[in-house]
Structure formats: structure tokens, C-alpha cells
Structure 1
Amino acid sequence: MDMDGGRKVFNRLGPSSSSDNGNHNKQQKVCIYWRQGKCTRYPCPYLHSELPSAANGKRAHQGFGAEDNYRSGGGGGLRRSGNYNFNNNNTWGRTQSQQPANNRNTLKKIEKLCNLWAQGSCKFGDNCKYMHQWSTGGCFTLLAPLEGHQQVITGIAMPPGSDKLYTGSQDETVRLWDCQSGQVAGVVNLGVTVGCMLCEGPWVFVGLTNLVKAWNIQTSMELSLNGPVGQVYSLAVGNDLLFAGTQEGTILAWKFNVATNCFEPAASLKGHTLAVVTLVVGGNRMYSGSMDSSIRVWNLESLQCLQTLSGHTDVVMSVLCWDQFLLSASLDKTVKIWAATESGNLEVTYTHTEEHGLLTLCGMHDSEAKPVLLCSLNDNTIRAYDLPSFSERGKIFSKKEVRAMQIGPGGLFFTGDGTGQVRVWKWSEPTTVQ
């Protein structure tokens, strides 16, 4: 595995110049059907090999891939805890010149999952132009697929110390999975769509339509929190408050009353004009992302909005706090890195651009304790990036888009896709050279 470039390269073999049956007489143009892996003409009047580089060092075939779009920088690291500061803004991303030479101008197998292979019926084998594997990069191991849900997975939760995994879906059910056997341990039929899930201490919270359910897995207590209007899309806990982002754009807050043994309404935060689809708490701040393309920063003590971030141009699907940074992902195809200025306001210090809209972010550490960002895109893939360089480590492929990701103990993480399948993954141990 190429740890520097983080990309696994697939070479399509073609006739060499010495055995190309008169290749020098062919038109000096590359066959577009050969590039797509489906040329059937023999002999073909066009080249079945790439044009050589021009004498001045520029590529003869123009066009830029994802490698060309990295910004300059490279040094430093990123950790969840501890005082670690970046000296300047160009530590995020890296330039094309820093990419390994063997990763440039190399033809790749089309990085798209073969649907026929996923169904067990592809007849092309190694000659198929699409991917016949669930991941690339060599850094992930698929431990188990969990089958049972019938629609999109919208929430995954694993309470600390529990031997059960909770998953919620638009099929109006929550399923409990035994972590030892991988079998279903229980099914809760709710009768309404599950919009999100969150675990905090012994509590599992489920965002539903016009309601939030709260289950205490230690006491088996079940509570219903009324107040939301429409679907509850996001949940967060901070300063002893439970927050819920709703379809109408309001963020509702409840506080647990020990005396009455119930959650009582505490506040209603207004400001977003459309649905609040993502919430995260970091320090004494809460950050909310909305369909109105904005992010709002809230003080957890006063519950007042301190700042509105307007850097995105489409729905803000996910926000993530990591050290002193806020990361946000949007359907506008960008991940933005925000950092506080001397005035205390957040500003964008780096923008990472993808070819597709982003759905959710998940930050974790690999088997060597290096920080990695998992980005789910609406092209049915998850990209894994080293931070802060944003060099790609690998990809995970799904039949449909992944809308839920959750970190587990011991290097585990869980993904849930649009088909209703939940997968259990683990970071692979690095290969040691003897």
C-alpha cells in the first residue's frame, strides 16, 4: 500500500510499443473505447497506450484529476486533545508536486462499485472495468454486514459499556444487535420515521416525527419528549441539556429533572429559516447546520447565537469539532475548516472540494493513532483522508449513499447505507516489513 499518496492504483494492460502490430502506423490519438476498457476493434486504428509526455515536461494529455486540486502545505498533525496549534493556514492540503510520481498519469479502473458483482452475478471477473471490492487503500477490514432494515439507515448508536448496537431507519424501526454474535437482539416498531440517534451515558435518544424518545438502558425507563414540529433530524448533548434540531428550523432544549425523573423543556433556539439537520457541541459552544446553508454558533450558557457562518452555498449536512477547529460538510461539494481569529469569530482557513455533495463527516484515529477524516459522499462512497494533509487513504463503496457513521471502541466504526444495510469495519493493522 502506498502510504504517501494513499491511493491504490490499477493498471489496465495494453500492447507494448514493441509488439503493437505496427503501432507506429496508427493515428497518434488514444482510443477512447480502450480508455473505457471496452474497445472491440482488432486491429484498432487508434493507440491502445497513453501518449508520451511532451519534451517540456508537460503532460501530452491535458486534464487534471483530484491530485491536482490539493493546496500547499504538509507539516504538522491533528489530535483530539492537547494543545496543538498550526502556525499558518497552508498546513491543510498538499500540492500536485508533492504527490508520488508513480501516482501521476496512471490509468485506473473506474472507481465505482460493480452492481452486478454486489449482486453476485458479474461475469467479467478481473476484466470488469468496475470495482469488485468494498474498499480500497488496504486500511479497512469489513468485519460483518448486519442485514434487517428495509430502508435508509439514519442513526447508529453504541452506548459505552454496552454489548448492544442500536440502529434506526426510515423503515420506522430501531434494531438492537448483539455485538458478540452480530445477530438481531430486538426490534422496536415505532410507527414513524427515525431521523437520528444519539447515546449519552445510559440514555439512548431517538429523533422521530414530532417527538424524541429517550430510553435508559440501565433502568429500562422510556420517556417521550414532546414539542418538536415535524421530523427531528439531529440531536446533541451539552451543559446538561439535550438539544434537538427540527424540520421547522427551531432547536429545542430539555433538561433532566432528577426530582421528577423526567426531561423538562428548557429553551427554544430560533434563527434558522429551514430545517436544522446537524448539531455538534464543542467546549462551551454548540454548532448547528441547516438546509438554509448556514451554520450558527450558540453559547451554551446564555443559549444566544454568537455568530452566523455563511461560507456554504447549499445544505450544511454535517458539522464536526476537532481540537480548535470546526469542520463542516455540505451538498455544495466542499468541506470547510473553520478556526477562531483573535476576535473570537470563526473564519474559513481551508476548503477541500469534492466532485460530489457531502452527506456526513466522522473523525477518528487509525490503528497507529493518526487522525483520519471519513467523508460520506452522495456518489455512494466514503473517502478516508489523513489530516491535516487531506491526502486520501482509501475508499469504502456502498450500494447506496451512507447517511450514518459512528465510531466504536478498539478501532471499530459502523456505517449505514440507503439500502438499510449496516456494516461493521475495523482499521487494519499496518503491514510490517521484516
Structure 2
Amino acid sequence: MDLDGGNRRVFNRLGGSSTAAPDSSKNQKVCYHWRAGKCSRFPCPFLHRELPHPSGPAAATANGSGAPKRFADDSGFSGPALRRGPNFNNNHNNSWGRMGANKVVRKTEKVCNYWVQGNCNYGDKCRFLHSWSLGECFTLLNHLDGHQKVVTGIALPAGMDKLYTGSKDETVRAWDTNTGQCMGVINLGGEVGCMISEGPWLFVGIPNVVKAWNTQTNQELSLSGPVGQVYTMVVGNDLLFAGTQDGTILAWKFNAVTNNFEPAASLKGHTLAVVSLVVGANRLYSGSMDHSIKAWSLETLQCLQTLTEHTNVVMSLLCWEQFLLSCSLDQTIKVWVATESGNLEVTYSHKEEHGLLNLRGMPDSESKPVLMCSCNDNSVRLYDLPSFSEKGKIFAKQEIRAIEVGPGGLFFTGDGTGFRVWKWAEAVPKP
């Protein structure tokens, strides 16, 4: 993977040498018309290449030989949590983001619009990307179209050869995982706000109701109670929780006798819509448009703590061993750790250039933990943890609102044009 500065990477790709002396016969300015891809002057008095990135002590520091500290090879996600690795210790501040000070800042990349349309004439010399991703550690397997609006949920029910996607176009689509063909479309009459699967059950949140399908028996249920859009769902302690537009978290419990889901609780405390839920360490965590995170006991369903360090909507939450990760439209990812009193405190905060929409975690091909976070600049960043050093980047035409992890090193991203299937590249054996 190329970790050099973006300017130098683009310059070298165009055939220049970062150590070559400037061409004294030309004005040392980059041609404005060349930048726009339409310079017709030959010879042109201005440069048809990017200027090399300045060298100096900072560059030497950024390209030093010290490798980012990572967790041991046997660390990996197990369900919603990560197994404890030997590099976990009580001095958490010395682990998270350790390489942040030396992290290389990459020039902002953009996918070539002409390449997308199939008619770019510049080929390898194009200064825009002819790829939907950056990074050599994963590959694109397939891009499946069909939805007319942004994909908001991706689910893979256990023991099935089908994948389900839900969208704001008010439909759920079923896909054959072997052929990639769409097997059917369900019209719901309302925008899909979220979708999850648990065992054979598929749950879909739409305005004022949660739809539940048993994918083995084809039983269909409607769980009433939500007020407004259902934005997020999670299962914990045999309860189905749903975060709703009016700020309430509703809970249902499955009754095997009646073969139905019955209302179990209503959790109130947020003042605006609940848009993210996660379960971990015998707690339910909720993120809201009111900028707060609440921790609830799964046993008593009482609120234990309210976290107010974010300054905008808390879009996504991820539980990882004793850590809680949160992302927000305030452009930060925060890492929380429990103190001796049991309360959570921020142990590290990672800043992005754009608002953040979704978090997922999984092991790469070397079983090392990777964080995937989608941003509202139509991209997904992939980071090694705990260093937060960039591992790759995925691009799309529209916002990527759904990320899901699959078996065998697969993961999925959904945007406004459909969803893509990705796979981690096989690890190269060490000599």
C-alpha cells in the first residue's frame, strides 16, 4: 500500500521524479487548463504535472521506519466484541492513536467521472482515480444494482444463501449469494430506516412499525408501537430493541407459546430521535440526535450514565471488548473506556475532515483488527487499530449509509446506487 504523500504519488504516477531538478525552460506553475483536463497548447509554457511535495524533517519523520503498533496476530472480532490481545493494558492512553502524530496526510482523491462513464482518454495518466478504492489489502468482487435510493440496511440471516438489502426506495430485495441475482422484491410502503437479522429472523424498521419475517417458515409479523421512523435496532438479552424518531427505545420479547413478539419495555430519556444502538458488557448503549449517548442496564433497563462529549448527532456505536467506540457528525470518533467506578470516559478522540455515519469492525486477512467508518463525503476509511493508521479507502457516487460484515473475509457497503461486495486479500506468507 502506498503511504507516501498524495502529491508525490500523483507526480510519480505521471512519470516525473521527485528528486529531479525543475525544468528551467518552463514557468514553475502548474497549467490551469491541464488541471481541468483541456489544455490544447503545445508546447505549453506551464507545467503539465504536479509539483513535488516539499522535503524536510517533517517528511523524514512521516516516512520513518517505525511500524505502527498493532494488536497481536490472534486478536480478532468475535461477534460484536474483540477478543482480548496481549497488548491490552491499563494504560489505554498509550495505545489508542499512538501513531497519530506521525500519520501521513494524503491528498484528497476523487474518482474520475469520465472513467465511471467508460470514456476517459487519459488512461494511466489521468490524475483522478480509475478505481472505487485505494489499498492493496482488499478487492472488489461485485457491484449489484437495483435499488433506486440509498441502501440503509444489509443483513445475512444465519444458515441461508441469501442476502437482504433495504432502502429508502421503500423496498427490501433478496439476493442469491452464489449468483448475485435478485431473487425478489418486497414493497413496504415506507422508507427502510434500518434492517438486522438474528437467527432466522429478519427485522426491518419503517415508519411507525417494525416488520419481522421468519426466513425459514415465511411467517410475517408487524410489531406496532414506534412513533415515526425506526432508525436503528439491536438484539440483546433475548430482547429486540428499536430506536425511534420520538426519542423512545422500544423493546419486545419473543413468546414461543404464542409464536409472536410481545412488548416488554419502553425506555425514555433522549429528547430527540435515537439513531444508533449497540449491546455490550451487559449494557445497551444508545446514540441520539440530541448529541448524547446513554448507557442502560440490560437487566433493569434503567439508565446508568449519559455521555455528552459529542457536539452533533451520534450516528453509530461499536462495542469492542471493554471499549465503546462512537462516531458523530461532529467529525470525531471517540474511544470510551470504563473507569474503576464503572462509568465511561473518553480515552482517545480521532478527528476526521467530514461527518461520520457508520462504524463496523472486523479482522483483516492477518487477523488484525480493522475499523471501517463511512463519512458523508461518499467514502469509507479503513484504519488499523489501535494506531488509527490508514489502511485503505473506498469511494462511491453517494453516501455509504450501510456497512455489513460477512463470513470468510467478506464485507459489504451500500450507497445510493446499490451495494458492493468486498473481500480481504489473502495474507502473503512470511519467509
**Matched-pair contact (CA < 8 Å) for 1:5–1:393:** no
Percent identity between the two aligned chains? 61
Alpha carbons of structure 1 residues 48 and 394: separation in structure 2 relative to 1, 3 Å: closer
TM-superposed deviation, 1:230: 0.4
1:277, 1:270 → 2: CA distance? 14
What residue number does 1:345 align with? 343
TM-superposed deviation, 1:188: 0.8
What residue number does 1:20 align with? 23
1:75-130 Cα offsets, whole Å, 9 max, x none, are 6456412475334212111346745xxx68xx85x511122222223333223222
Alpha carbons of structure 1 residues 7 and 295: separation in structure 2 relative to 1, 3 Å: farther
**Matched-pair contact (CA < 8 Å) for 2:134–2:394:** yes
For residue 284 of structure 2, the aligned residue among 260, 283, 286 is 286
**Matched-pair contact (CA < 8 Å) for 1:7–1:392:** no
**CA root-mean-square deviation:** 3.0
**Matched-pair contact (CA < 8 Å) for 1:175–1:184:** yes
User: Are 1:74 and 2:65 an aligned pair?
Assistant: no
- SS where residue 115 of structure 2 aligns? helix
Larger mean CA deviation between 141-150 and 313-322 belongs to 141-150
1:281, 1:207 → 2: CA distance? 18
What residue number does 1:268 align with? 266
- Give the total of aligned pairs: 411
What is the one-letter code of the residue matched to 2:46? C
What residue number does 2:373 align with? 375
Instruction: Give ranges in structure 2 of 5+ residues lacking alignment.
Output: 77-81
What is the one-letter code of the residue matched to 1:92? W
For residue 175 of structure 2, the aligned residue among 177, 181, 186 is 177
What residue number does 2:79 align with? none
1:311, 1:127 → 2: CA distance? 45
1:194, 1:33 → 2: CA distance? 45
2:238, 2:50 → 1: CA distance? 65
What residue number does 1:10 align with? 9
1:196, 1:155 → 2: CA distance? 5
Alpha carbons of structure 1 residues 322 and 58: separation in structure 2 relative to 1, 3 Å: closer
For residue 43 of structure 1, the aligned residue among 28, 42, 45 is 45
What is the one-letter code of the residue matched to 1:74? K
1:133-158 Cα offsets, whole Å, 9 max, x none, are 01111111111111111111011100
2:369, 2:317 → 1: CA distance? 17
Alpha carbons of structure 1 residues 304 and 122: separation in structure 2 relative to 1, 3 Å: same
1:332, 1:116 → 2: CA distance? 33
Alpha carbons of structure 1 residues 364 and 354: separation in structure 2 relative to 1, 3 Å: same
1:227, 1:122 → 2: CA distance? 52
What residue number does 1:93 align with? 97
Alpha carbons of structure 1 residues 358 and 52: separation in structure 2 relative to 1, 3 Å: closer
1:197-346 to structure 2, matched below 5 A, reads: 197-346=195-344
- SS where residue 11 of structure 1 aligns? helix
1:293, 1:320 → 2: CA distance? 16
What residue number does 1:63 align with? none
Larger mean CA deviation between 398-407 and 41-50 belongs to 41-50
1:34, 1:139 → 2: CA distance? 35
For residue 136 of structure 2, the aligned residue among 115, 132, 138 is 138
1:191, 1:48 → 2: CA distance? 51
2:328, 2:215 → 1: CA distance? 34
What residue number does 2:382 align with? 384
Instruction: Give ranges in structure 1 of 5+ residues lacking alignment.
Output: 60-66
**Matched-pair contact (CA < 8 Å) for 1:415–1:422:** yes
**Matched-pair contact (CA < 8 Å) for 1:293–1:313:** yes
1:8-50 Cα offsets, whole Å, 9 max, x none, are 9733244875572446xx6xx7548499586957323999644
1:150-192 Cα offsets, whole Å, 9 max, x none, are 1110111001211000100011110000011100111111111
